[in-house]
Structure 1
Amino acid sequence: MGFIDSVLRRNSELEWMFDLDLTYETTQRAYLKKMALETCINFIARTISQSDFRFMENGKRQLNDWHYLFNVRPNTDQSAADFWQDFTYRLIDENEVLVIKTDSDDFLIADNFTRNEFAVYPDTFSNVMVKGYTFQRTYQMDEVIYLTYNNEKLSKFTDGMFDDYANLFSRMIEIALRNYQIRGMVGIDSTQQLTKENRTKLQNFIDKLFNSFKNNSIALVPKLKGFEYDEVASGETKGQPIDELTKLKRSLIDDVANILGIPNALIHGELAEYETAIKAYVKFCISPLIKKIEDELNAKLIEKKNYLKGSRVEVKGITEMNPLEVADAVDKLIGSMAYTPNEVRVKLGDEPSLDPRLDEHYFTKNYQPAGTVEGGENNDNN
């Protein structure tokens, strides 16, 4: 016979008290995962949405239908910025993205699809769904724009980590809430037998009492005979500070940012390391992603023979340097004959000038053409 059973046998009038519910469960912190993913993935998506897609032919930009579709209006419902932000988000979050071209020359991002893989033939895509509508046709690989991000989905890296963080975060919130909690003791006269109906009424009264203390700044409770409430703690702030909760959320975002290649200082807006962080972000996160997009667009939109003749798609506006910030370096590159002015313009993301003088090499501070250099003032003829 257990200790509780023996007590209840000697004091059967106490048995009903063990049926009262005085505890409340906490909810899962599922929003932690959404917060970390939205912060990091949207950071990259907003960057890519600022890109300028250029269709080049023999080094000159072509203003054609492709230019309008990729830079202004890919479809009837999205601007170019919205389209590329959605495109990038799906690519990173779902590890793949599929874009189809309709008969009305609209580019649509598929919400769901089935990829049919073959060993020696091009893969196909069926059951392509966009906004609830399923296209009946099967698309060939060379008819769509299809990209993958990593070998594994981001969720495989993060699911277990988020579960651990959620449990830890919930426990930390519980501790913080207890630190600020007002505690009380309820005394009940147990000498009187209570029926099941009376126990239910008493439980409802206790629930109302706790909710009144929890939700109201001023709570008035009637004093009942045989029922007493004594406060034993009033909002003490010992234990773990609220700052620890902020540090945990920051640590979670840092882990996701590290997976995606985003410097932690940049994602948190730390200006002290901004210059170094932005260079690392562009080089190791954005540049590889832009290279994937460029390769796919060149493979699907430019024929091989035209590509070999100089036609290609270039994504500019993100990885290039600001001309005003590197003016001194530009001066040295041109003055040392390492690059022509037009070659420097291309490296900075600008289109080459039509002025033929900018295709010549220059040196010295006079910036004179190399073929017009004069000298020999001290030769034998003088």
Structure 2
Amino acid sequence: MSWFSGLFSTDGTLQLDIYLGELASEVFYKELAVQSCVNLIANTVSRGEFLTFEKGKDVRKNNYYLFNVEPNQNKSASKFWRDVIHKLVYENECLVIQQGGMFYVADSFGITEFAFKENVYNNIVVGDLGLTGSRVESEVFHFELHNEKINNVVDGLYASYSKLIAASQMQYKKNNARRGTLDIPTKYPQTEAAQKALHDLLNVKFKRFFDAEGGAVLPLSNEMKYTELSSNIGVKGGAEGRDAKAFIDDVFEFVSIAFQIPPTLLRGNVADTDKALNNFLTFSINPLAELIADEVNRKLYGKTLFLQKTYMKLDTTRIKAVDIKDVANAMDILVRIGAYCIDDCLLMLGMEPLNTVESRARWMTKNYTPVTDAIKGDQVGKGGETN
């Protein structure tokens, strides 16, 4: 409030042409960092595949189509889950309702919370349509990320840090400004015409001289002399000797930490990308995928079906781009120990399985033998004698 009231002059007026630009520049860097984090998480999750199981068997039926292709008649699955994740990460919560066998993201809603009975959701708005009546907890998907909005934490951090950015920008402008002295002789005429010429020299000709991109000449008369002072043009500098870009990089770094994203991914660095991506999937995407799957399973499937291994799972293992040359050796090992079949390998590469008896068969090299056979072989020596 003290900062806001300080924008007004003593007569209660506010010069919007001055402060509007300052507010826009201060908020821009933080908003850019936050939106970059939100978009990165949303785009990554939308690349995952929702797998549906019935009694432990992977099936593709109506729910699979709804989650992976068309949640409703107006949005594809990719756009729908981007909207869900954007609201969930940016606003800390997201409400999804089911209407006519399809899923819709609520733009706004009210909630009445209870301790020992289901919460009630009312004033639900989807697009421009306000829904009549209310929904109870078991009738909706209510995704919640944290106890407190991450965006509020980022706002608090940025409130003080933006001052350092502003100070650095001012220092940069100061270092790159041209300065000089103009010697005006004491006998310079004091007539109105002479004063007008002096005003034109200072406000028009000098401005053109300083703004010139190429060569420029400054005509001086009446024994006036201009002397260029030493300049710091091209010298980096700012608050505490750092330039503005360093402070902006700091903003991206602490925002990425708040959203549990490796800073190297957000800045687009290529060094150690694989390690950073693995950390991103492990600590940011996988917990988010588990949060979504838990909410869907307990509301859509329920306890009985879940215990019978009928459930939904958000598979994030295929989000990472796979080069066949990088995984060839790993697939060979998985196949020869019987862990993977041919169809499993095709799925890992993003290809359609063959779904034949041969492609689903398990194989094992003769180099492997059961532990019990190895023990029997050790107990029986040459000639059939027991060791």
Interval containing the TM-score (normalised by the shorter chain): 0.7 to 0.9
Letter in 1 for 2:267: H
User: Aligned residue for 1:362?
Assistant: 364
The residue type equivalent to 2:246 in the other structure is: K
Aligned to 2:290: 291
Structure 2 counterparts to residues 198-237 of structure 1, below 5 A:
232-233=228-229, 236-237=232-233
Aligned-partner Cα distance in 2 for 1:204–1:66: 76
Alignment check: 8 A CA contact 2:335 2:362 kept: no
Could you say if the C-alpha distance between residues 297 and 359 of structure 1 is closer, same or farther in structure 2, counting changes exceeding 3 Å?
farther
How far off its partner does 1:362 sit? 2.8
Equivalent AA in structure 2 for residue 166 of structure 1: S
Aligned mates of 1:146, 1:344 — CA distance in 2: 34
Amino acid at match of 1:293: I
Q: In 2 relative to 1, CA 360–64 (structure 1 residues): closer, same or farther, beyond 3 Å?
A: closer
Matched, 1:262 2:261: yes
Q: Identify which range, 269-278 or 27-36, moves more after superposition.
A: 269-278
Query: What's the offset of the Cα at 1:91?
Result: 0.5
CA gap of 1:269–1:177, structure 2 versus 1, over 3 A, is: same
Match of 1:116 among 84, 102, 112: 112
1:146 Cα offset (Å): 1.0
Query: Deviations 1:221-241 (Å, cap 9, x if unpaired)?
Result: 99999xx99675586416534
The more displaced of 257-266 and 355-364 is 355-364
SS in structure 1 at match of 2:116: coil
How many Å apart are 1:178 and its aligned residue?
1.7
Report the AA paired with residue 328 of structure 1.
N
SS of corresponding position for 2:22: coil
* Structure-2 change in CA distance of 1:56 and 1:342 (3 Å): farther
Change (3 A) 1:334 1:178: same
Q: Give, in whole Å, the separation in 1 of the partners of 2:118 and 2:206.
A: 66
Structure 2 CA distance for aligned equivalents of residues 328 and 125 of structure 1:
52
Cα separation, 2, equivalents of 1:231 and 1:263: 51
List alignment gaps of at least 5 residues for structure 2: 1-17, 193-197
Q: Which residue of 2 aligns with 1:168?
A: 164
User: Secondary structure of 1:306's match?
Assistant: helix
SS of residue paired to 1:30: helix
Query: In percent, how many aligned pairs have the same letter?
Result: 25
Deviation at 1:270, TM superposition (A): 2.6
| CA deviation after TM superposition for structure 1 residue 364, in Å | 3.3
1:40 equivalent in structure 2: 37
Tell me the SS of whatever aligns to 1:27. helix
What is the aligned partner in structure 2 of residue 13 from structure 1?
A: none
Contact 2:172-2:237 within 8 A present in 1 as well: yes
Partners of 1:309 and 1:356 in 2: CA distance: 29
Q: Following the alignment from structure 1 to structure 2, what is the Cα–Cα distance between the partners of residues 210 and 102?
A: 69
Alignment of 1:191-202 (within 5 A): none
* Equivalent residue runs for 1:47-126 within 5 Å: 47-103=44-100, 105-126=101-122
Shift of 1:265: 2.1
The verdict on how the C-alpha distance between 1:204 and 1:101 changes in structure 2, with shifts beyond 3 A counting, is farther
1:328 equivalent to 2:329? Answer yes
Secondary structure of the residue that 2:243 maps to in structure 1? helix
Whole-Å separation in 2 of the counterparts to 1:192 and 1:328: 91
Q: Deviations over 1:318-355 (max 9, x none)?
A: 46775843443444455456x46489769959889663
1:99 CA displacement: 0.9
Query: Does the CA-based 8 Å contact 2:286-2:316 persist in structure 1?
Result: no
Q: Is the 8 A contact 2:49 2:314 kept in 1?
A: yes
CA distance in structure 2 between the aligned counterparts of 1:114 and 1:213, rounded to whole angstroms = 62
CA contact (8 A) 1:122 1:140 kept: yes
State the superposition RMSD in angstroms: 4.5
TM-score (normalised: structure 1): 0.73
* Amino acid of the structure 1 residue aligned with 2:366: T
- CA deviation after TM superposition for structure 1 residue 158, in Å: 1.0
By how many angstroms is 1:316 displaced?
A: 1.8
| Separation of aligned partners in 2, 1:232 and 1:142 | 76
Q: Which amino acid aligns with 2:66?
A: L
CA displacement 1:44-64 (0-9 Å, x = unmatched): 111011111121113333332
Query: Match of 2:272, SS?
Result: helix
Tell me the SS of whatever aligns to 1:172.
helix
Distance across 1 between alignment mates of 2:210 and 2:146: 48
> Is the Cα–Cα contact under 8 Å of residues 50 and 318 in structure 1 kept in the other structure?
no
Quickly say closer, same or farther: Cα 1:175–1:331, change in 2 above 3 A: same
The 3-state SS of whatever aligns with 1:115 is strand
Aligned equivalent of 2:248: 249
Distance 1:323 1:121, change over 3 A: farther
Q: Does 1:27 align with 2:60?
A: no
What is the letter of the counterpart of residue 275 of structure 1?
Answer: D
Residues 60-97 of structure 1 deviation map (CA, whole Å, 9 limit, x = unaligned) = 33332222222122223322111111211110111101
CA distance in 1, matches of 2:227, 2:74: 60
TM score, norm. by length of structure 2: 0.72
Deviation at 1:305, TM superposition (A): 2.1
Letter in 1 for 2:236: Q
In structure 2, distance between residues paired with 1:89 and 1:30: 19
Instruction: Measure the CA separation in 1 of the matches of 2:34 and 2:97.
Output: 26
